[in-house]
Amino acid sequence: MYLYESVTHRGARRWLPCLALAALPLIAQAASDVEQLTKDPKNWAMQAGNLANHRYSELKQINAGNANQLTVAWTFSTGVLRGHEGGPLVIGDTLYVHSPFPNKVYALSLEDQSIKWKYEPKQDPAVIPVMCCDVVNRGVAYANGKIFLQQADTTLVALDAKTGQEIWKVKTGDPKKGETTTNTPHVFKDKVLTGVSGGEFGVRGRITAYDLETGKEVWKAYSTGPDNEMLIDPAKTMAWADGKMRPVGKDSSLKSWKGDQWKLGGGTTWGWYSYDPELNLVYYGTGNPSTWNPSQRPGDNKWSMTIFARDLDTGVAKWAFQMTPHDEWDYDGVNEMILADIKVKGKMRKALVHLDRNGFGYTMDRVTGELLLAEKFDPAVNWATHVDMKTGRPQVVAKYSTSKNGEDFNTKGVCPAALGSKDQQPATYSPKTGLFYVPTNHVCMDYEPFKVEYTAGQPYVGATLEMYPAPNSHGGLGNFIAWDAGTGKIVWSIPEKFSVWSGALATAGDVVFYGTLEGYLKAIDHNGKELWKFKTPSGIIGNINTWENKGRQYVGVLSGIGGWAGIGLAAGLTKSTDGLGAAGGYKDLAKYTELGGVLTVFALPNTAPPAGERTAAADK
């Protein structure tokens, strides 16, 4: 039996076992220092740059007038040859960088690039076959003198930032059930938040908050199932319906699944989270439902494919919005939520901007959860005509409905492919221009679902895919775009031969950086004009970061081909349907790059004259 207990902070509520109420401890909140550290642009203290996922820097020593003079300052090999996602952190005079499995962590001195310490966890390599789309890791987190690493085997560990010694560690999942972890931990206030991967293994997704200092679990919220386990208040948690926000009602998830299918329901949480301190709300997305065969799971499959806004202290959901009900194409909803105060259709709003795998860019009111705008950010998107603004539901084109076409039928020409018009590779937002700069995929697919039985720890996919460039276009697999989230329009687009799988970076110097799968780091101006490029040792799926040390600005990026797009090259897969279709779609990558694992750091030459700054305002 459960009852509601009122929680003093902001009137939030949570489910608690009634017998445990008397034993509840008073938890002292020791806020972390990371929020303050992000306000100094000399640091790069969070993977996303700040709490709002802007990936923007106020540094402007490198600007649109001198970016063409960038040169390599130094490099560092991680000693691992697989997909390198995420990027380094810089706190003061130390840089912290990670690797994919086995998830090494290095602390490097910015003075002479010497290794201050190295941490290499002992993990069972049996976890590798359970990892869906390469053995990537999206980076470490920092707070209060600790480095937080989320290992592939679901171990969350806190290390002493000065010595690399373990302070505490906790197991967050079970690889024997197909649960792994590839996400970066997120530190908000006094908590470390982490998720789980494994939607292709019948995992039940969740987000868990741990105490920053002790590693003790504070709350856990599942993506599917009973209200009490999801930390949903049927009367208070709101969702968009009939053109307004309404309570989700009792058993909103259970009613949307057939029988106990929700127990294998996916909705994993391996993406990027953001946090609004004024609202005390954390925002994140949930992934695809299991299996990929939609015929085996009738219903909307709530709350997979969903944006959640939760109270950070209690975990209780304030609102939820499902982008792709009854997903039929693997359009995970885990991409980052970027928080920005922008004009939407002429009116200032506290907005949340989410560029979803399904090809629609959503602009929401982050306070209320109201849907403000939903438009296609890739012209190839064809699986739906538009999003009905009253219901929030995409209007599916019957021809591309794998559910309607049924099992063992190959639905051809679906755009985007399962890896979406954008996967986890994070966009950047520039407050100077008001635009979002977005790495995108321009890929379509053939999708054939088939019946599959669940076995713990074994793949639970149930679909065969093939991928290829969007037809009747520029022939490439990607674009890098500027997106106006207030109008839902593409401002400009740069075609790329392959998907742009790196995280982007915008700076106050009016330079935007992104990396390509061939291995180029590129610098462009705010109009999309290329200023400079450099070929790094391997394909780039890492995120570009910047920092300052001793008066000099640096830009760094991890290169190491892999991830879903590069899994064929990284794992030696050759069949066109291998890697859930990516091996065939990206087979030409082998002509342009090879495996690697290198951090490359760039700066202006010491002798370079400080070229005159260019600004967006001046260009206008």
d(C-alpha 75, C-alpha 80), whole Å = 14
Q: Are 324 and 394 in contact (CB under 8 A)?
A: yes
Classified as helix, coil or strand, 617 is helix
Per-residue pLDDT, 17: 34
Distances (CA, A) of 135 to 500, 547, 567: 19, 27, 9
- Token pair, residue 296, equals 């085996």
pLDDT at 242 > cutoff 60:
yes
pLDDT higher at 619 or 363: 363
What phi and psi, each to the nearest 5 degrees, are found at residue 388? Answer: -70, 115
pLDDT confidence bin for 15, thresholds 50/70/90:
very low
Q: Mean pLDDT across the chain, nearest whole number?
A: 93
**Catalytic annotation present for 330:** yes
CA dist 497 → 32, 286, 359, 392, 517 (Å): 42, 30, 19, 33, 9
Query: CB under 8 Å to 551, separation ≥6 — which residues?
Result: none
Give the residue-averaged pLDDT of 447-466.
96
Side chain identity at residue 614, one-letter code: R
Q: Which has the minimum average pLDDT: 9-13, 256-260, 267-271, 613-617?
A: 9-13
Contact 305, 327 (CB under 8 A): yes
Which pLDDT score is estimated for 613? 52
- With a cut of 90, say whether residue 200 has pLDDT above it: yes
Dihedral, 587, 590, 595, 600 alpha carbons, nearest 10:
-110
Residue whose pair of structure tokens reads 């085997």 in the numeric block: 153
Interatomic CA distance for residues 4 and 228, integer angstroms: 10
Phi-psi region of 280 (alpha: psi -120 to 50; beta: other; left: phi over 0): left
Distance CA 21, CA 320 (A): 27
What is the pLDDT, as a whole number, of residue 30? 59
In whole angstroms, what is the distance from residue 400 CA to residue 420 CA? Answer: 15
Dmax of the chain from CA atoms?
72
What is the pLDDT, as a whole number, of residue 610?
Answer: 54
Distance CA 612, CA 66 (A): 8
pLDDT digits (tens, 9 = 90+) for 31-76: 899 999 999 999 999 999 999 999 999 999 999 999 999 999 999 9
Secondary structure string (H, E, C) spanning 524-568: EECCCCEEEEEECCCCCCCECEEEEECCEEEEEEEECCCCCCCHH
Query: What mean pLDDT comes out for the span 166-175?
Result: 97
Cβ–Cβ contacts within 10 Å for residue 224, how many? 28
Q: Using alpha carbons only, how large is the chain's radius of gyration in Å?
A: 23
pLDDT by residue (tens digit) across 398-445?
A: 999 999 999 999 999 999 999 999 999 999 999 999 999 999 999 999
Residue 207 CA: distances (Å) to CA of 257, 307, 364: 20, 13, 21
Phi-psi region of 77 (alpha: psi -120 to 50; beta: other; left: phi over 0): beta
SS (H, E, C) 394-417: EEECHHHCHHHHCCCCCEEEECCC
Q: In the prediction, which pLDDT does 21 show?
A: 30
pLDDT of 320-334, one tens digit each?
999 999 999 999 999
Amino acid 60 reads K
**pLDDT tens digits for 463-512?**
999 999 999 999 999 999 999 999 999 999 999 999 999 999 999 999 99
3-state SS, residue 569:
helix
d(CA 310, CA 275): 9
d(CA 257, CA 304): 11
Contact at 8 Å (CB) between 240 and 371?
yes
CA distance 579 to 595: 17
Which of 353-362, 474-483, 568-577 has the lowest average pLDDT? 568-577
Q: What percent of the chain has pLDDT over 70?
A: 93
Comparing C-alpha atoms, which of 486, 496, 467, 287 is closest to residue 378? 496
Model confidence at 208, in pLDDT bands (50, 70, 90)? very high
What is the pairing mode between strands 435-441 and 428-430? antiparallel
User: What mean pLDDT is predicted for residues 530-537?
Assistant: 98
Q: Check pLDDT > 80 for residue 519.
A: yes
Catalytic entry in 134, 311, 313, 330: 330
Please, how many CA atoms are within 13 Å of residue 148, restricted to the half-sphere of its CB?
Answer: 29
Given a cut of 90, is residue 27 above it in pLDDT? no
Cβ-contact 357, 331 below 8 angstroms = yes
| Assigned token pair, 291 | 């299996």
Q: What pLDDT is attached to residue 619?
A: 52
Residue 31 has what pLDDT?
A: 82
**What's the pLDDT score for residue 286?**
98
Q: How far apart are CA 9 and CA 314, in angstroms?
A: 9
Q: Hey, CA dihedral for 226, 229, 234, 239, is it positive or negative?
A: negative
Q: Which three-class secondary structure state does DSSP give residue 262?
A: helix
Question: What's residue 608's pLDDT?
Answer: 53
Tokens matching residue 224? 């599917």
Rounded Cα–Cα distance for residues 101 and 131 (Å): 10
- 424 vs 220: CA distance, rounded Å: 23
User: Which is nearest to 599 in space by CA: 84, 32, 188?
Assistant: 84
Q: For residues 401 and 595, give the distance between their C-alpha atoms in angstroms, rounded to a whole number.
A: 37
Residue with tokens 């090999």: 77
The span from the CA of 519 to the CA of 533, in Å, is: 10
In the predicted model, what is the mean pLDDT of residues 606-618?
A: 54
